[in-house]
């Protein structure tokens, strides 16, 4: 949309969104804001997905109410964020995110003291670093200004609770019809402001089957190394969204072509290109993860990282074991080295790394026939994930099927859960050794 042009408004009778598709808690929040005289829109991905006939994962709300005003309206509200001040409204079983309309800071051309003072006050709410990455973004604006500062046109659509219309401030509806991911404005500026937008473009392209606009794709490939500027904790959350929604295979393919994999996982990238057979093996693992996600089976971050890095680690451990290093020691050192490399860009919690190591360590015990102390193994916290990983690697290593079949039969036994409970509840406790008191010597001042 050209600045100054009126937005395109689609009345209720001309679009497919019904209030029956919207979360009751989201409707309750929208109505309360509207009754108190505020503008209240559904914004972002939920509007996009409703127009595509999909069920949104969550419902985000945009309003002209400030965070403080939102908090006064809702007793179940908590304000979060420094870079981007948001209101989280907690309902039973649902968390709604309510944001105040923002705008991009543009310094005025005037050089008068009043304008200079105004610019300095506004600039405190919109801070960027030397590369142009936005660090603080709390400069409030209008609904149109908020839409124009979003990442992609398909995410700039709004649903107005006042008259149930769809408001399109950009070319969002046309791009949605053409299944095109187009940045709002210059893609170089948009990806520099927030490099996470590159991951979001890949995620939408993979999960929706859309195509990234050629100009934006070229810039994305050029700026892929800038993804390392994002905070490691934020990248950990984005990686889960990217790979644990059932489309990790297509997402990895786009990330590998663009250079994002090389920037995020250099060890994995070197392994990937080291042998022509390895890409097919890794894509088999990702396909297995996607099948689990689409079937509704929960996939933990530890299991995903095992599927992603397992082949790399297993090859390294095998090489070191052949050199005479005990397998357990080789595994511990390999896990520490690879996850240490990952930690330079992505903060993986220690418990996730520990669980990953435990899943891989248990494979040796699962592949013994007959297994030793099966019930005791089944009592370990990582047991079910370890068996799932055994099924995963058996997809490409057919000689492991016999072990998978044995453990599947074990889990089907009526008494297997009883054995598992017995192993966990009645496991012999280690007896604490009493510490003997050392005999006291004669005191120096004793007579």
| Number of alpha carbons in the 13 Å side-chain half-sphere of residue 146 | 25
Residue 63, strand partner residues: 40, 100
What is the distance between the alpha carbons of residues 26 and 47, in angstroms, rounded to a whole number?
A: 13
Reply yes or no on whether 151 is catalytic.
yes
Query: What interhelical angle do 383-394 and 350-361 show, nearest 10?
Result: 60
- Choose among 159, 160, 141: nearest CA to 100: 141
Give the three-class secondary structure for 159.
strand
Q: H-helix or E-strand containing 61? A: strand 60-63
C-alpha to C-alpha distances, 338 to 47, 65, 176, 347, nearest whole angstrom: 40, 46, 40, 13
Reply yes or no on whether 445 is catalytic.
no
What is the distance between the alpha carbons of residues 101 and 83, in angstroms, rounded to a whole number?
A: 14
β-strands 94-100, 60-63 pairing: parallel
Reply yes or no on whether 58 is catalytic.
yes
β-strands 157-160, 134-137 pairing: unpaired
Q: What's the 3-state SS for 210-261?
A: CEECHHHHHHHHHCHHHHHHCCHHHHHHHHHHHHCCCCHHHHHHHHHHHCHH
Q: H-helix or E-strand containing 199? A: helix 196-208
Buried (b) or exposed (e) across 389-405, using 16+ Cβ within 10 A? bbbbbbeeeeebeebbe
Give the three-class secondary structure for 89.
strand
Q: Which of 49, 137, 146, 151 is catalytic?
A: 151
Q: What angle do CA 98, 103, 104 make, to 5 degrees?
A: 135
What is the distance between the alpha carbons of residues 47 and 152, in angstroms, rounded to a whole number?
A: 13
Which strands form 60-63's sheet, in the order they lie side by side? 8-10, 165-168, 157-160, 40-43, 60-63, 94-100, 86-91, 77-80
Phi, psi (5° rounding) for residue 322? Answer: -65, -25
Give the three-class secondary structure for 90.
strand
Q: Which of 49, 60, 175, 290 is catalytic?
A: 60
Q: Which of 58, 119, 267, 287 is catalytic?
A: 58
Residues with a catalytic annotation lie at 58, 60, 151
């Amino acid at each position: 949309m050209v600045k100054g042009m009126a937005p395109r408004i689609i009345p209720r009778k001309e679009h497919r969104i019904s209030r029956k598709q919207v979360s009751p808690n989201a409707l309750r929040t929208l109505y309360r804001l509207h009754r108190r005289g505020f503008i209240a829109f559904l914004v972002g991905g939920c509007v996009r997905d409703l127009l595509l006939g999909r069920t949104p994962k969550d419902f985000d709300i945009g309003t002209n109410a400030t965070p403080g005003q939102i908090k006064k309206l809702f007793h179940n509200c908590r304000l979060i964020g420094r870079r981007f001040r948001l209101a989280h409204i907690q309902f039973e079983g649902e968390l709604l995110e309510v944001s105040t309309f923002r705008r991009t800071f543009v310094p005025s051309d005037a050089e008068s003291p009043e304008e200079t003072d105004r610019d300095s006050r506004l600039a405190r709410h919109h801070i960027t670093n030397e590369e142009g990455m936005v660090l603080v973004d709390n400069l409030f604006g209008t609904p149109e200004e908020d839409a124009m500062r979003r990442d992609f046109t398909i995410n700039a659509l709004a649903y107005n609770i006042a008259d149930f219309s769809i408001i399109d401030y950009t070319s969002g509806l046309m791009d949605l019809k053409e299944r095109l991911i187009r940045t709002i404005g210059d893609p170089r500026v948009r990806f520099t402001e927030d490099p996470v937008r590159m991951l979001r473009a890949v995620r939408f392209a993979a999960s929706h089957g859309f195509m990234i606009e050629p100009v934006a794709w070229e810039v994305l490939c050029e700026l892929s190394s800038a993804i390392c500027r994002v905070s490691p904790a934020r990248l950990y959350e984005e990686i889960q969204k990217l790979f644990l929604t059932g489309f990790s295979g297509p997402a990895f393919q786009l990330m590998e072509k663009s250079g994002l994999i090389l920037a995020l996982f250099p060890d994995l990238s070197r392994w990937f290109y080291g042998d022509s057979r390895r890409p097919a093996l890794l894509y088999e693992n990702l396909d297995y993860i996607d099948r689990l996600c689409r079937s509704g089976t929960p996939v933990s971050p530890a299991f995903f990282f095992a599927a992603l890095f397992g082949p790399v680690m297993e090859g390294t451990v095998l090489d070191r074991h052949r050199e005479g290093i005990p397998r357990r020691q080789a595994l511990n050192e390999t896990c520490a080295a690879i996850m240490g490399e990952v930690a330079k860009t992505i903060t993986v919690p220690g418990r996730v790394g520990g669980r990953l190591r435990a899943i891989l360590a248990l494979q040796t015990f699962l592949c013994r026939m007959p297994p030793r102390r099966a019930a005791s193994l089944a009592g370990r916290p990582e047991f079910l994930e370890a068996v799932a990983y055994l099924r995963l690697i058996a997809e490409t290593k057919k000689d492991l099927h016999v072990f998978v079949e044995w453990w599947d039969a074990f889990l089907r036994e009526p008494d297997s859960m009883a054995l598992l409970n017995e192993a966990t509840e009645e496991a012999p406790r280690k007896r604490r050794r009493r510490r003997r008191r050392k005999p006291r010597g004669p005191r120096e001042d004793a007579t």
